[in-house]
Structure 1
């Protein structure tokens, strides 16, 4: 089995003011280091592949229609 290494990277995430607090709180719940200063983009410290996927998932929840998310979930249930 191949192993993968992931160096830490600081990522600036552009999210609307309305969604910023939700994203920040969710990342905190997932123990992903992040910070958010007034009038600044959300800064996220990506330290693993898992953290990158979790950030992608949170972003997808905000940017995808509810109907598309439901359809994706139904496809996943069908595969199980």
Structure 2
């Protein structure tokens, strides 16, 4: 289920799968982005900056994307880092 963004006077209403709604809302609150579950089961989010929009998108993706999509995205990041001459840091 893809989230649907509905513009409203108080922010955006997001259709998030029921099992993920609380976790998404909690993470957004941790990031300082106001979020609350509405009576109709959606998540109301207030975004006021481009950074907040990116954070909302990232949090939703982390909680709703399939595992393979996340792995593919991570692989792209590793490839870009390697092509840019970045070095992998080893964790001791």
Bigger shift: residues 64-73 or 44-53: 64-73
Task: Tell me the TM-score normalised to structure 1 length.
Answer: 0.77
**Post-superposition offset of 1:31:** 0.5
1:41 equivalent to 2:42? Answer yes
**Post-superposition offset of 1:16:** 1.9
Aligned to 2:46, the other structure's residue is in SS state strand
Q: CA RMSD in A?
A: 1.6
Rg larger for: 2
**Consecutive unaligned residues in structure 2, runs of 5 or more:** 1-9, 82-92
Correspondences of 1:1-80 after superposition (within 5 Å): 10-80=11-81
